[in-house]
Chains A and B, each alone.
Chain A
Amino acid sequence: MNARRSGIAQLLFWALAIGICAFGLGRAGSQPTTAATVSRIQFCITAIEAHSNTPNLISETLIEGPPGTDFNLNLKSKGFVLTTRFLTDLLPDQRVEMRAALETRRYLGQSDHNLPLYEIDTQRQSVLVGTDEAAVLFPFGQEGDSDSFKIVITQNPIERTAKRPMPLEIKLVKPAPNGEIEVTARKIPHRFVARLALVRNGQTLAQGESSCRLEAVQEIKLIPAGAAPETLHQLPVAVALTVSDFTRSRPQDTVGIHFDVLQSDPAGAVKSLVRNGAGVGTLGEPLKYDLTNFLSLPNTGTCELIFTIRLAEGESSD
């Protein structure tokens, strides 16, 4: 009886051991073993001070990620803060379009009530940078060459061979002595498709569709449908839409939008029906706004403007 039990235990053991080995081999076999060529983009961000025409490297950071990698660059010093956000897109001719949002905050002194006074400047700039060029950011302005401080950004498209997706990487080659300069990077989708529909009581009056880029205003004309009243033909409606943000979320990602609803008359004059509309919705799901009180349409009922934002072809949320 004992010998029989021992035999069963051994049989069970070997069956489990072989099963596990087979499972492990199966998993190993399912891994991609063939290497593929992966397009990557490198950014080199160097902070340089030129004192009496003598350049001095203060900090250097390398970023490598998939095309479309964005980065933030912040500078903090006594009485001055620079916050920047760079959205980058690699163009077919290997140039990189950098859309920069710059904000500076400079301490000016104190008010009569002993409160701090700051000069805040916000601006947006867009530049095209080739592989033989560099984007140069002068945080304090470009005044004279002898004593200046600048941040130089160069780009370099490369191709790597990899068996699996490569992560975004930041290499801090030389940090700023006291952490005055901070660099962060991320990769999110930049291109979207927006579909808009003006709906009254469930019936589509006008609709329009267009591709959109992240943080770029896109005007979308709403083309009147067959059921549209004559007013919409005479006074067409358009929407100035900006996909302002993309956030990875669960169970689904979300997008933020800003928009104005515009209406033009036959003479070409444009007036805003809705200004500074905004909202956050689930990617691919309708986002509805009640415009009943903003549109002067006959036979009024509930009139809604419905946004549906989805990723453009080729974009991935991962």
Chain B
Amino acid sequence: MPCEWTEKVSLYLDDELSSEEATAVRVHVGTCLPCRTAYNDFVRLRAELKSTPAPPAPMVQYAALHAILGEPAPPWWRRRLTIPAPVFALTVLLALVGGYVLPRITNRTAPTTSQTRQPAMPQAPSKPEPVIDFSRYDHGGRATLVVVKKTVLPATGARS
């Protein structure tokens, strides 16, 4: 015949009773045979649970499963990727649009205006260029524009 204190025995083992209740349970277990039997059963069950090894990790289980089935995991380049069809369609669509638009954007980098400025000066050389002293040519004369035959020009290596 089960005793009404049996549940308190379980709570006692779980250390969930106050000190007064725990003292009362201890006294009761010493005098009640069903409760003492339950107490012994609970203690033995806990000892068995503690001695049981923990279950293996999922990856270990996976490897063990493949070891049992005898099929090694395929290399990454042979694995199949499963994606929804709309995602695949959207990916290809974006690739096509990108391939169509990108060349046209890069083509626009060519100058389109009819006003062009002189290209930027090249990077400064490591050895500074000598400063041209134009003042030695300045005798206070007025700027002049004349036309001459190319043949009278000195050869300078220019492309004229």
Contacts and interface: CB of A to CB of B under 8 A. Distances in A.
Contacts of A106: 138, 140
Interface stretch (B6-14, B46-54, B71-79, B116-124): B116-124
A183 B155 CA distance: 22
A133 B81 CA distance: 73
Nearest to B122: A175
A270 B114 CA distance: 42
B150 to A, nearest CB: 5
Interface string A167-180: 11111110111111
Contacts of A180: 132, 134
A68 to B, nearest CB: 10
Interface string B116-159: 11110110000001111111111111111111111101111111
Nearest to A57: B156
B143 A82 contact: yes
Given A167-B116, A178-B129, A140 B160 contact: no
B153 to A, nearest CB: 6
> Chain B: interface residue count, which band?
35 or more
B116 A169 contact: yes
B100 A24 contact: yes
Contacts of B160: 44, 46, 134, 152, 154
Given A55-B156, A141-B141, A175-B121, A9 B93 contact: no
A100 B113 CA distance: 24
Contact of B100 (A20, A46, A60, A175): A20
Interface in A211-262: none
Interface in A169-221: 169-173, 175-180, 182-188
B143 A177 contact: no
A134 B145 CA distance: 10
Contacts of A171: 119
B116 A172 contact: no
A123 B141 CA distance: 13
B45 interface: no
A135 B144 CA distance: 10
A147 B115 contact: no
Contacts of A162: none
Nearest to A80: B138
Nearest to B137: A149
B117 A135 contact: no
Interface of B: 84-86, 88-89, 92-93, 96-97, 100, 110-119, 121-122, 129-151, 153-160
6 contacts: A44-B159, A100-B145, A121-B142, A136-B147, A167-B114, A170-B118
Given A78-B135, A104-B143, 14 more contacts: A13-B93, A17-B96, A24-B100, A44-B158, A50-B154, A56-B156, A60-B159, A77-B134, A127-B147, A133-B147, A140-B137, A168-B115, A177-B132, A180-B134
